[in-house]
Structure 1
Amino acid sequence: MNGQTAVVLGATGLIGSSLVEQLLADDKFSTVRVLVRRPIAIQHPKLEVLITDFTDYDTYKKNLGTGDCIFSCVGTTNANVKGDKLLYRSIDFDIPINAARFGKEAGFKQFLLVSAIGADARSRFFYTRLKGEVEEMIAGYKFKSFHVFRPSFLVGRKQSERTGETLLTSLFRVFSFLIPSNYKAISGATVAKAMLTAAKQEKEGLSVYYYNEMIA
């Protein structure tokens, strides 16, 4: 097969897991390389699973390898890091930024990033400021195509779905007609499909996608 090679970061998350499935089913991609901290159950002739310590830069760079597209779906929550902002930053900032750095050196042409609504490097709020900083840093690497996806609340099946999130999902659905379009809940599978579609279009420069663009 002479298709493209895609690298996926965050392949076990809501968006990333759906994206991997869609990439494996798409003939444009002959290799789907996922960098993960621990083994995953999926097996497929096109799939390469590389266990990666993201703090070991030599291993990280080697495992990223060469290819065409980098899909960064990495993201944690304040609850998962128990409020540790340094740990939060090491995941949501360091992992995608280093992927961009290594990827640019290796000749990748496209970088596709899951960011967040309200991302702004000058925001007073930690989360939106962090996401904005990531966007600005990766933009500086001047990939041929840089796609930024800014979803609001994500819905879909998770490996560990919390009661609070289930309630919020229900509320978003009931009152969706009152919510501005950019802030509407969107499924992880829909974001993943939008990322795959954008990668196949190979539009040059910076493109930013909100709810309406991702749905389209």
Structure 2
Amino acid sequence: KRLWRGSFSRRSLSSEGGSSHLKTKRLRTWRCNVKIWPCGNPNPIKVQEVVDFEKLDDYAAVFQGHDVGYCCLGTTKAKAGADGFIRVDHDYVLKSAELAKAGGCSHFNLESSKGADKTSGFLYLKVKGQVEADIEPLGFERFSVYRPAVLMVDRQESRPTEWFFRKVLGPISSMFPTAMSIPIQSVTRAMVANTLIPAGDKVEILENKAIYDLGKAPEK
């Protein structure tokens, strides 16, 4: 199978002069890691592509010929402002899904968020829910949505609110691992493991506990 994974370079987002925008000198980059397993060759070939999010149509070829896609694009309102957040978490994600579908991708995996709801009064959850709803009609053979709670991960970039919750939720997570948070490693393992499980429903939504159970580290 041919698989691709996309991640957004959040460093390309900035806020200057009281208004948030995307810097033009730092390209909106899509790092697409493509692992290809040629017939009879157990060693994958890894290819990395870099594209400009503002001109994704010019890079349609990057999205062609893959069976499975993983989309984990995202930023925050604090980093990008309201318009920038919508642009990244909705517009870029939806466009990536459209190109993946046109390129032959049959199984699209989307990392969303716990509480995602297009009718929510909270912008973050509303945008997450809206992009889920907009991708579904594209008609992937299988569409898997992952809704993790607060991600327990040490980032290079500064996210004070997330850092605070990690410190507060850390002790709670050790006693109640699926209550309000989840290790990023668990999400990664769950997404890969779920890909290898035969499809059930055409559209599946995995909430935090299901992600945690599926992403448990193998016992040594």
TM-score w.r.t. the length of structure 2 is 0.75
TM alignment of 1:22-41, pairs within 5 A = 30=37
- The whole-number CA distance in structure 1 between the counterparts of 2:137 and 2:156 is 34
Does residue 125 of structure 1 match 2:122? Answer: yes
- For 1:57, the equivalent position in structure 2 comes to 56
Query: 1:195 is aligned with what amino acid?
Result: M
Where does the alignment leave 5 or more consecutive residues of structure 1 unmatched? Answer: 14-19, 32-43
CA deviation vs aligned residue, 1:10-54 (integer Å, no higher than 9, x gap): 1668xxxxxx7xx97xxxx638xxxxxxxxxxxx96221111001
Q: Considering only aligned residues, what root-mean-square deviation do their CA atoms show, in Å?
A: 2.6
**Cα gap change, 1:45 to 1:180, in 2 (>3 Å):** closer
SS at match of 1:79: helix
Distance 1:98 1:202, change over 3 A: farther
Measure how far apart 1:77 and its partner are. Answer: 1.1
| Percent identity between the two aligned chains | 25
Residue 86 of structure 2: aligned partner: 89
Match for residue 203 of structure 1?
Answer: 199
Conservation of the 8 A alpha-carbon contact between 2:117 and 2:129: yes
Greater fraction of residues in strand:
2
Q: Over residues 62-85 of structure 1, what are the superposed CA-to-partner deviations in whole Å (9 max), with x where a residue is unaligned?
A: 22222101100001012211x2x2
| Residues 124-174 of structure 1 deviation map (CA, whole Å, 9 limit, x = unaligned) | 111111001100011111211110000110012322255553342121022
1:189 match: 185
Q: CA deviation at 1:193?
A: 0.7
Report the equivalent of 2:46.
47
Structure 2 CA distance, aligned partners of 1:158 and 1:80? 14
> For residues 11 and 162 of structure 1, do their structure 2 counterparts lie closer, same or farther at Cα, with a shift above 3 Å needed?
closer
In the alignment, structure 2 segments of 5+ residues that lack a partner are 11-32, 214-220
* Residues in 2 aligned to 1:200 and 1:161: alpha-carbon distance in whole angstroms: 34
* Aligned equivalent of 2:133, options 126, 132, 136: 136
Match of 1:105 in 2: 102
Aligned mates of 2:144, 2:152 — CA distance in 1 = 21
Distance 1:163 1:128, change over 3 A: closer
